[in-house]
Amino acid sequence: MSGGLLEGIKVADFTAVIVGPLTTKVLADYGAQVIRIGSSKRPEPTPPGPGGHIDYNTGKKSITLNLATPQGIALAKKLVAWADIVTENFAGGVMKKMGLGYDDLKMVKPDIIMMSSCLQGQSGPHANQPGFGAQLTALSGINYITGWSDRQKPVWLHSYTDFVAPHFNVFALLAALDYRRRTGKGQYIDMSQYENSLHFMAPLVLDYSANKRIAAPMGNRIPHAAPHGAYLCKGDDRWCAIAVMNDAEWRSFCGVIGNPAWTTNPKFATLKDRKANEDELDRLVETWTIQHTPAEVMANMQAAGVAAGVLQTEEEMIEQDPQFKHRSFYHELDLPDRGRYMAFRPGFVLSKVPCEVTRPPLLGENSDYVLREILKLSDEEITQLVVEGALE
């Protein structure tokens, strides 16, 4: 992309599934040239439809290599020699075993920046464990606190951490680029998705450290607000979230719902009282919300200074949300094998440089371009690579 923030930055991307591709998507959307190194024989365990490959790989190019062959490894090193950044999120130690560890890549390009973003880092007793974000939500304690106090099993938040780690990854890569700009030196970034995810648990970790309290599932409730939850509204399975954080907001809330007699009951007079009678409070709140659409509940509560939000469907977010439309968050793209679909941009806008979201590549779609235009290989060399099984 001409004029992009990262124009001229070249990335050899060995990542797969979610964390790695989402990281390099941000780089590509802001102008970096990102080459995905994939495999047609070992497809990613991610659905190829929305929510999978096409959402996380906008703006990139794709080549398929057989990294189980010496020729494939040699070709990968040619891409490293071209690149400024190498990214990977295999299990700890996998790249090193293939001969593509940081020490190997420094021999190819001394100022290379390499980022490994595996589950638990590259050192320690669990460094070599493979897995996905679904396992990390359990390890990091997120699953333990998710659910309802009156139910035996916690709710499993699938791959939540996959959408936390990329933000740390992008920040670290930009910092490494700035360091190289100032010093001429590359470096190795050992990123642990596990450690990243714990930042979202920091208040609970602090509470345990200071008070030895172990957090438990609270459903939709929190200790310092009531009412606080998702309430059934008019319509088919329609809901609105409401959060009343203090007594002043409680008075505003009561005014919105018409000050029914039950709101003057002493059992709801203070936050402490409302928390003590929260089950009854939630039932009474819902006798009002059920009479109104979620949009009506949200608008009336927000107008009175009470936090509220519709529980939107994907259709509502993409097709109707005026905020997303105003900020052009979704971009309509066209895929050769799928047709039109909506892709998202990174969740920030820079005032001086553009963000351009272009369609993701099909698997191996740009192999010929990468081999001829980037690596400058001849027809004879490409033919030999095919014969040797280096290309898939």
Instruction: Assess if residue 354 is contained within a domain.
Output: yes
Quick one: which of 299, 163, 149, 288 has its CA closest to 222? 149
Mean pLDDT of 154-160: 76
Distance separating alpha carbons of residues 268 and 227, to the nearest angstrom: 10
Instruction: Assess if residue 54 is contained within a domain.
Output: yes
Q: Looking at residue 387, what is its pLDDT? A: 93
Pick the last residue of a domain from 288, 313, 338.
Answer: 313
Say if residue 110 is in the same domain as residue 66.
Answer: yes
Q: Looking at residue 338, what is its pLDDT? A: 78
Distance separating alpha carbons of residues 90 and 101, to the nearest angstrom: 11
Instruction: Assess if residue 71 is contained within a domain.
Output: yes
222 vs 150, more confident:
222
Say if residue 304 is in the same domain as residue 341.
Answer: no
Instruction: Dump pLDDT digits (tens) for 218-266.
Output: 889 999 999 999 999 999 999 999 999 999 999 999 999 999 999 999 9
Say if residue 193 is in the same domain as residue 236.
Answer: no
Beta bridge partners of 230: 241
Distance separating alpha carbons of residues 261 and 112, to the nearest angstrom: 70
Distance separating alpha carbons of residues 200 and 137, to the nearest angstrom: 11
Secondary structure (H, E, C), the chain: CCCCCCCCCEEEECCCCCHHHHHHHHHHHCCCEEEEEECCCCCCCCCCCCCCHHHHCCCCEEEEECCCCHHHHHHHHHHHHHCCEEEECCCCCHHHHCCCCHHHHHHHCCCCEEEEEECCCCCCCCCCCCCCHHHHHHHCCCCCCCCCCCCCCCCCCCCHHHHCHHHHHHHHHHHHHHHHHHHCCCCEEEEEHHHHHHHHHHHHHHHHHHHCCCCCCCCCCCCCCCCEEEEECCCCCCEEEEECCCHHHHHHHHHHCCCCHHHHCHHHCCHHHHHHCHHHHHHHHHHHHCCCCHHHHHHHHHHCCCEEEECCCHHHHHHHCHHHHHCCCEEEEEECCCEEEEEECCCCCCCCCCCCCCCCCCCCCCHHHHHHHHCCCCHHHHHHHHHHCCEC
Pick the last residue of a domain from 313, 342, 359.
Answer: 313
Distance separating alpha carbons of residues 364 and 61, to the nearest angstrom: 8
Q: Catalytic pick from 150, 162, 178, 273?
A: 162
Distance separating alpha carbons of residues 78 and 76, to the nearest angstrom: 5
Say if residue 297 is in the same domain as residue 335.
Answer: no
Residue 45 confidence class, pLDDT cut points 50, 70, 90: low
Instruction: Dump pLDDT digits (tens) for 91-145.
Output: 889 999 999 999 999 999 999 999 999 988 899 998 888 888 888 888 888 888 8
Say if residue 370 is in the same domain as residue 274.
Answer: no
Q: 15 pLDDT exceeds 80?
A: yes
Residue 49 confidence class, pLDDT cut points 50, 70, 90: very low
Instruction: Assess if residue 208 is contained within a domain.
Output: no
Say if residue 378 is in the same domain as residue 340.
Answer: yes
Quick one: which of 7, 9, 94, 77 has its CA closest to 37? 77
Q: 52 pLDDT exceeds 60?
A: no
Residue 309 φ/ψ, nearest 5 degrees: -155, 140
Say if residue 262 is in the same domain as residue 181.
Answer: no
Instruction: Dump pLDDT digits (tens) for 168-207.
Output: 999 999 999 999 999 999 999 999 999 998 888 898 999 9
Instruction: Assess if residue 38 is contained within a domain.
Output: yes
Q: Looking at residue 227, what is its pLDDT? A: 98
Say if residue 115 is in the same domain as residue 194.
Answer: yes
Could you tell me the CATH number of the domain that includes residue 284?
3.30.1540.10
Q: Looking at residue 46, what is its pLDDT? A: 57
Say if residue 335 is in the same domain as residue 308.
Answer: no
Q: Looking at residue 48, what is its pLDDT? A: 45
Pick the last residue of a domain from 313, 338, 367.
Answer: 313
Residue 388 confidence class, pLDDT cut points 50, 70, 90: very high
Residue 61 φ/ψ, nearest 5 degrees: -120, 160
For strands 188-192 and 113-118, give the pairing. parallel
Distance separating alpha carbons of residues 39 and 245, to the nearest angstrom: 51
Q: Looking at residue 50, what is its pLDDT? A: 44
Residue 337 confidence class, pLDDT cut points 50, 70, 90: confident
Q: Looking at residue 186, what is its pLDDT? A: 97
Say if residue 36 is in the same domain as residue 179.
Answer: yes
Instruction: Assess if residue 4 is contained within a domain.
Output: no
pTM of the model: 0.90
Instruction: Assess if residue 221 is contained within a domain.
Output: no
Residue 51 confidence class, pLDDT cut points 50, 70, 90: very low
Tell me the one-letter amino acid at 77. Answer: K
Query: Is 237 a catalytic site residue?
Result: no
Do the beta carbons of residue 14 and residue 21 sit within 8 Å?
Answer: no
The count of domains in the chain is 2
Say if residue 331 is in the same domain as residue 191.
Answer: yes
CA 8 to chain centre: 25
Domain range enclosing 301: 228-313
Say if residue 357 is in the same domain as residue 295.
Answer: no
Instruction: Assess if residue 211 is contained within a domain.
Output: no
Give the CA distances from residue 270 to residues 226, 241, 318, 392, in Å, rounded to whole numbers and listed in that order: 9, 21, 40, 67
